[in-house]
Each structure stands twice: as C-alpha cells, then as structure tokens.
C-alpha cells in the first residue's frame, strides 16, 4: 500500500534510538549510552518539534493568518525549522540571528527564502544595550513591538509554552515507548531549555527513579565575540550552584538531578571520535551531551544502567568551526 506524505510537517518526530555500541566498547563503559538521533527530523534538528508546535498553536488561536510573516531571533536551528515549515505552509519568515552563528546556518535560512538580519538590526537594540546591557526581557519586548507595528507573528521561543510542550507531546513519549520505560538517566543541554523542561517533566512522571542530567558548557567554552576557541554555541550556562536562571525551568519548578559542565575542546574531540566509531556525525551540543553521558557512565555505581542521550542535530552546520575544520 502506498504511503505518501503531503507535507514535511507530517515527518516530525519518531526519531530513532541507537545504541552507541562502538563508542561504549572503546571507552570501556559499563553503562549503555543510547543516542536519540534528532537529526532525522525533516529540517535536521530537534527544533522541528517546537517550531511546528508553535506554528500550529498560533494557527489554532488565529494569531497566524494565511500568507502571514513569522518573526524569531535564533542562533540557528529554531530558525531553520521555522523556515522549513513556513515554506511548507506558505508563510514568510524574518529572522534576527544571534551572535556566534555559523555561516552554514545563514546560508540554509536564505535558501528557504528567509529574510535574515542580526540582533543589531532589531529596532531599539542599540539603545537597550547602551542603557541596560544585554537585557533579554527588553530585547523580547522590542521584538514584540516590531511585530505588532508590522502585523507580524512573533513566535518568541523563549516565552512560548508551545516550545516545551512539544516535548511533552512527542519526545518524552517516544523515549518511554521505545525503551519500554527502562531508562535510568536522560542527558541533554539547554538552549531555550524547551527540551530539558518538556522531556524532563514527562520522564519524571512516567519513569520512577529516572534521573535527568542537564549539561552546560563551562564558562571558558561559552562563545565570546572575537575569540577563536573551542566553543559550544547555541546553548546556555543555565545553572550556577543550583541557582537556575532559565525561564522555562523556573516557571515549571523543574530542577535537574545534576548539572555537568563540559569543556569545548573535549567536546570537539568527542564529536570526531563518535563519527569515526559509530558513523554518527554529531553537532556540538550532541557531542557535549555524549561527553557528559560518558562521565556518568564511568561511575562505578552506574554499571548496567541505561543512559539516553539527546543528540539535537548533526555536524553539517558546524563544518566551518574548529570541530570539523580542515586543519583538524
């Protein structure tokens, strides 16, 4: 029987879980690392889930009309997801790119017909920076005003509950179903923290005793303009000694069981190792999650445990970085 889909929006989710068999063996891990390969989503990342859910919610509420314009600020993957679905649904997309994005991401966005600008182009941005510094709430308010003034729809991924709720609807249930609920740890990073919040809440409700490990770059591995270092971009340092700063986590009263800091240089080495050992071409945050999961797996008390690692995207958007650069 024919099985032909009408739109790429029908292809979101149901991504595979794959045991990192050779990586586990090569590192003498007594626990089992299992990667959830989110680059199997149609635009290549886990952000497809949140992007589609935000669009569908806006359509259902009448906030997004046929032929309308969607606006978002992003470091890349959410923008690419929105671009793919905007094209499929007949919308236009206007993106303000955050500092530190790779050129590959800009190229992909433009290929979808997206209008691409940068944070400095947000109306009122310079005044906010001069008076308040990088004040995220004021920048979001400036974005909202820009959209209101022009009749655009602002997805506002940092404040939109449809972001984290996408993972209650799909990512979390998929993990439970595909493992028969046999998961001891789930490991992931935070950009907007939508994945960490949604997956964490769902697994905590449905798998007794599961532990959620949040991963963040150490401060030396955060992107800083003008510095040529091994950085992990598109994610945040969200926890300082138990003081959680991310709005979704705070709003939902969700705290990880543990937060692990990882180093950029070790992350890059892990990405290359994973590609050579298991044929998994990981993005930076995916490699960082695997690195943290390896640290958990090496603890003697975790022998025989099962660790699911969220791999948000693949390495194609990082080819210009030091992780996969020609000089490696």
Give residue 99's Cα distance to chain centre: 16
The SS3 of residue 33 is strand
Active site residue 81: no
- Output DSSP code: residue 45: B
From 36, 43, 47, 294, the catalytic residue: 47
The answer to whether 26 and 298 have CB atoms below 8 angstroms apart is no
Q: Which strand (E) or helix (H) includes residue 328? A: none
Cβ atoms < 10 Å from Cβ of 29: 20
List the one residue out of 137, 116, 134 whose CA is nearest residue 126. Answer: 134
List the one residue out of 80, 79, 82, 38 whose CA is nearest residue 58. Answer: 82
Give the strand pairing for 243-244 and 211-217.
unpaired
From 43, 57, 285, 305, the catalytic residue: 285
Maximum distance among all alpha carbons in the chain? 63
Tokens of 282: 């990981």
Active site residue 47: yes
List the one residue out of 178, 247, 248 whose CA is nearest residue 206. Answer: 178
Sign of the dihedral through C-alpha 229, 316, 189, 18: negative
Which of the residues are catalytic? Answer: 47, 285
């Amino acid at each position: 029987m024919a099985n032909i889909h009408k739109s790429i929006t029908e292809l979101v989710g149901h991504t595979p879980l794959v045991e990192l068999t050779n990586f586990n063996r090569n590192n003498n891990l007594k626990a089992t690392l299992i990667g959830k390969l989110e680059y199997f989503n149609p635009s290549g990342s886990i952000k497809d889930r949140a992007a589609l859910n935000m669009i569908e919610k806006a359509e259902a509420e009448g906030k997004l009309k046929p032929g309308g314009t969607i606006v978002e600020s992003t470091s890349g993957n959410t923008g690419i997801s929105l671009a793919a679905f905007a094209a499929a649904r007949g919308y236009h997309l206007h993106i303000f790119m955050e500092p530190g994005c790779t050129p590959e991401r800009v190229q992909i966005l433009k290929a979808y017909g997206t209008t691409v600008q940068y944070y400095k182009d947000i109306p009122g941005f310079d005044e906010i920076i001069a008076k308040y510094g990088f004040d995220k709430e004021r920048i979001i308010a400036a974005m909202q005003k820009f959209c209101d003034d022009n009749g655009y729809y602002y997805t506002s991924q940092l404040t939109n509950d449809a972001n984290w709720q996408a993972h209650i609807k799909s990512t979390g249930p998929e993990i439970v179903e595909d493992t028969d609920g046999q998961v001891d740890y789930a490991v992931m990073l935070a950009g907007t923290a939508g994945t960490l919040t949604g997956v964490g809440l769902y697994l905590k409700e449905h798998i007794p005793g599961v532990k959620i490990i949040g991963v963040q770059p150490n401060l030396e591995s955060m992107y800083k303009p003008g510095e040529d270092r091994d950085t992990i971009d598109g994610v945040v340092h969200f926890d300082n000694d138990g003081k959680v700063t991310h709005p979704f986590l705070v709003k939902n009263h969700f705290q990880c069981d543990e937060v692990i800091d990882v180093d950029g240089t070790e992350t890059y080495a892990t990405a290359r190792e994973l590609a050579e050992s298991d044929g998994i071409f990981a993005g930076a945050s995916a490699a960082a999650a695997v690195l943290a999961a390896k640290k958990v797996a090496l603890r003697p008390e975790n022998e025989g445990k099962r660790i699911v690692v969220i791999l948000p995207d693949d390495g194609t958007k990082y080819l210009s970085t030091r992780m996969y650069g020609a000089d490696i």
